Amino acid sequence: MIPPGSVPIKDYAIETPLKKSALSAEGDTLPEIRIDLKAKFGISAIHFVLKDEETGDWYKNKSRDFVVSLVDYIRADSDTSIIEPKRGFDFWPGNLGQISKIFSKSKADENESSESRVPERESNQPDGFYEEVYVTKKVLISNSVTVSTKKCFESGAVKDILYVETDLPGDVVLHWGVCRNDTKRWEVPRSPYPPGTVPFKERALRTPLWPSPDGKGSSAQITLEEEFSGFVFVLKQNKDTWFKYLGNDFYVPLSSPIKLLNSSSKDDLSEGVQIEKPSQENSFFAFTDTVAYEMRNLVSDNSSDKNQKKKSKKVQQSIFEEIERLAAEAYNIFRSSIPSFSKPTTAKPEATNVEPETTIVVPEASVESEALSLEPKICSGTGTGHEILCQGFNWESNVSGRWYMKLKEIASELASIGFTVVWLPPPTESVSPEGYMPKDLYNLNSRYGNIDELKDLVKRFHEVGIKVLGDAVLNHRCAHYQNKNGVWNIFGGCLDWDDRAVVSDDPHFQGRGNTSSGDSFHAAPNIDHSQEFVRKDLKEWLCWLRKEIGYDGWRLDFVRGFWGGYVKDYIEASEPYFAVGEYWDSLSYRNDETDYNQDAHRQRIVDWINATKGTSGAFDVTTKGILHAALEKCEYWRLSDENGNPPGVIGWWPSRAVTFIENHDTGSTQGHWRFPSGKEMIGYAYILTHPGTPSIFYDHIFSRYKTEIASLISLRRRNGIHCRSTVQISKAERDVYAAIIDEKVAMKIGPGHFEPPSGSLKWSLAIEGKHYEIWEAS
């Protein structure tokens, strides 16, 4: 049945070139293929995908295979041992973006209901039909979108003037709005608007761009009040082409250049510069005196080629590694220097049919290599980059009432395994025994033990060289008293807040504060962090915990509930060694299947980290979800994104990604999102060899996996793998994923085969388990 010219792909697929032999209605020659099925094989379905050999693009049906089912279109012949098709199967001619298929069926099926059925002919002859499935073809063109901003004094007030210009051909419409904070929620500003502007679905404005006098491109000018913090937009060209930035809205912060410089993330400037791969995509802020952009993530930086040629790769790598380690100090160097501007670089926004390139301007910073020490130092909230985190509890740890004492007994064992940081459960008095419904924040007698036992435990961990994170629940708090309406929103204890401390947009608790800056947690009053007295009290509480208990940092619960900028305030006040936030929301799904592209999901996590100005990391929920999909269905191709990088937060901002496969919510006795059973060690083989900061769940440490986990931790530490290690993905196929990390460690997971490449490095197998292998270079 295999057509001529086909090539087998391992043992599960065939690659067949399409021949241009069919003619369309317009007389064009179109590619086609004919597959003649053999009756004796009883084929029930055909799966296929298409590849454009000229561009290397793959075409799928909504990120999945095209599937042609033949189950309803075969019949049993007189010989009941043979099930055969009634007729051959053809691909009808169609354009590049059209896949046509033909089915036949028998009269015997006419009484069965199906949405895809077509009436049968009275003669009982097979009747055919075809379906056209459209796929999108992306092409790269050298067009640009620029937004210039400036402040002006007009009508007695300071206003923002924006000038939007593009050289895209044809009719271009700007869909735009404004936002007030980093949540980027669209709002419609007050008039006046540019000529021709009309409302669009009550949450945006639609403005046609006017053609330039020279006929090349189009533009529009917009005037805004100074009350807004950002300008958001997308572009529409002609009838059916939309331009976004990697699936997200374009966003331009409406801040002065000095304010933008002072508030940008400390690490964005260093993580956005790639030494060995100048064209590799990553994230950074861009700004100039009159042009301000925030094109986050996946920006191709080609501007520093000339500078890179002037210095050796080794010297440059040392410089920027030090900048990363000295984030705050290096940022001050950048801020105090006078930027000299490089040639424009290009960022690739994503469109439905066309991908243009957007011009932005990036400042260069001059750093003398002699002035930089290579001694590792610590920045508040980010640690050294070599942390290995142990979650030191599960959902049932409160039951015994002596959990602190139990952990004290095993502290030295955790240190011997290789853990450098331990995350403890919430310490405060709580309505729920697990600690996540806090009441009196200064009462540290909990179901896990009393305050003295907690102090002894922290002291013991410090003695064995382990840092300690406290679980800080800042989003919500349970009240002590009811108001006059019988609603529990009046607090007692040391922090005796009234209902002004509760957000006003949660109807369950009738708060008199401002509206929430995040999502609601409906089981308890959500705290209004915009109130100055609330922030002051929480800062003092965190500093008290640092001094009184000896906590070294924080795990921050449910950070989706309040703006990351408040987290920045709390971290700057308490100066933790390490901090990580729980930003957990749903991945992208389609037809109950996990989408291949999870950029929108990881972008939301990165946006939150960015709102903290990089002072806190976040759990890499994206990586966990993709590992679920890859391991459950043996789809290891998911572990490489469209740019050949890891598809989670570790592929965009690894120094702020805390990777994990299980915790007290997803696993334990709750099991809200349990990792695929029996494949836990495959997950650990991935996160313990990759960048990011790995977190290991207590239940897995003290289980049959203990020895394997200890071996992986030992290998990670022995080879100096850290949160910023480099990953070179060697394979990402159906049954195998393989990568080389820092040119020191090679790994593979999945049942498929992989051997590290032979060459200057000699590889020796160090660890082998079920469906995973790890090699070390020598």
Would you please indicate which residues are annotated as catalytic (active-site) residues? Answer: 557, 582
Question: How far apart are the C-alpha atoms of 424 and 403, rounded to whole Å?
Answer: 10
Q: Reduced to 3 states, what is the DSSP secondary structure of residue 547?
A: helix
Question: How far apart are the C-alpha atoms of 269 and 327, rounded to whole Å?
Answer: 9
- CB atoms closer than 10 angstroms to residue 293: 25
Question: How far apart are the C-alpha atoms of 474 and 179, rounded to whole Å?
Answer: 25
DSSP letter assigned to residue 645: S
Tokens of 705: 């996996």
Question: How far apart are the C-alpha atoms of 466 and 389, rounded to whole Å?
Answer: 10
- Beta pairing partners, 13: 9
CA-to-CA separations, 234 to 251, 298, 527, in angstroms, rounded: 9, 18, 34
Please classify residue 213 by burial: count the beta carbons closer than 10 Å to its beta carbon, then call 0-12 exposed, 13-18 middle and 19+ buried.
Answer: exposed
For CA atoms 280, 283, 286, 292, the dihedral sign is positive
Question: How far apart are the C-alpha atoms of 139 and 62, rounded to whole Å?
Answer: 18
User: What angle (nearest 5°) sits at the alpha carbon of residue 225, between those of residues 219 and 227?
Assistant: 125
Q: Reduced to 3 states, what is the DSSP secondary structure of residue 216?
A: coil
Helix (H) or strand (E) holding 730: strand 727-732
What single string gives the DSSP state of each residue in 266-277? Answer: TTHHHHT--SS-
Tokens of 163: 């000038």
CB 170 within 8 A of CB 219: no
DSSP letter assigned to residue 86: S
Question: How far apart are the C-alpha atoms of 128 and 109, rounded to whole Å?
Answer: 14
Residue located via tokens 């440490």: 701
Taking the CA atoms of residue 34, residue 40, residue 44 and residue 45 in that order, the dihedral angle to the nearest 10 degrees is -30
Tokens of 24: 């369309």
Question: How far apart are the C-alpha atoms of 141 and 43, rounded to whole Å?
Answer: 43
The amino acid at 745? V
DSSP 3-state percent helix, strand, coil across the chain (nearest 5): 20, 30, 50
In angstroms and rounded to an integer, the radius of gyration of the C-alpha atoms of the chain is 29
CB 301 within 8 A of CB 274: yes
Contacts of 413 (CB under 8 A, 6+ apart): none
Read off φ and ψ for residue 284, nearest 5 degrees: -165, 170
Catalogue the E-assigned strands of 124-270.
Answer: 129-134, 139-140, 145-154, 157-166, 172-179, 198-200, 204-208, 210-211, 218-225, 230-237, 241-244, 250-253
Tokens of 276: 């060995």
Helix (H) or strand (E) holding 409: helix 403-417
CB 289 within 8 A of CB 257: yes
CA-to-CA separations, 639 to 596, 598, 605, 739, in angstroms, rounded: 9, 11, 18, 10
Contacts of 472 (CB under 8 A, 6+ apart): 426, 542, 545, 554, 555, 556, 557
